Amino acid sequence: MAEFGVNTPARQAAFLAQVGHESGGFAYTREVWGPTPAQSHYEGRTDLGNTHAGDGYAYRGRGLIQITGRANYVACGDALGIDCVTTPGLLEQPAFAAQSAAWYWDEHGLNELADVGNFDTITRRVNGGRNGEADRRRRWALAKQALGVV
């Protein structure tokens, strides 16, 4: 977290709440694949950079924040100095799972949103919607209490 500026209790509480939800309570570093209807739509999504056959599955959510899509894997790999396009499973390894989450957080301006308590916008930027909102808010309240965020 320190590497990417997640360095205040408010930022840390919001970060921990989001990655706690996205990773199923820190149990998963790879998206559980059904495929669900939403996952089926990953294939061919050019907004995610999924332009090759099989990209939807290959670049499914990984890491604590569930980096998704070829384009995000390229950007994340470039930032972290790893080749997670050729070897997507790198983002499942503990160090890269955490580092990729903090990179994504910083890259999408979430520290600044955490500073002003804009948790709804953070959730939309992490998830693309409001999936799991109640769980995210519960985790945020617990993290704020633990870290002394008023």
Domain ranges of the chain: 2-147
Considering the chain, what percentage of its residues have pLDDT values greater than 90? 98
Q: What is the structure's pLDDT at 2?
A: 97
131 is catalytic: no
Structure confidence at residue 118 as a pLDDT band (50, 70, 90)? very high
Q: What is the structure's pLDDT at 120?
A: 97
Q: Which of 7, 43, 50, 72 is catalytic?
A: 72
pLDDT digits (tens, 9 = 90+) for 17-71: 999 999 999 999 999 999 999 899 999 999 999 999 999 999 999 999 999 999 9
pTM metric for this prediction: 0.95
72 is catalytic: yes
Q: What is the structure's pLDDT at 67?
A: 98
Which tokens belong to 29?
A: 């570093």
Instruction: Give the list of residues 6+ apart from residue 51 with CB closer than 8 angstroms, or none.
Output: 44, 70
CATH of the domain spanning 2-147, picked from 1.10.530.10, 3.40.50.300, 1.25.40.80, 3.20.20.80: 1.10.530.10
Q: What is the structure's pLDDT at 25?
A: 98
Q: Is the dihedral angle over the CA atoms 92, 98, 102, 105 positive or is it negative?
A: positive
Span 105-121, average pLDDT: 98
Given a contact cutoff of 8 angstroms between Cβ atoms, the answer to whether 52 and 82 are in contact is no
Given a contact cutoff of 8 angstroms between Cβ atoms, the answer to whether 20 and 139 are in contact is yes
Q: What is the structure's pLDDT at 8?
A: 98
Which tokens belong to 72?
A: 């995000």
Q: Which of 3, 31, 43, 131 is catalytic?
A: 31
pLDDT digits (tens, 9 = 90+) for 133-148: 999 999 999 999 999 9
Q: What is the structure's pLDDT at 100?
A: 98
- What is the rounded end-to-end Cα distance, in angstroms, of the chain? 21
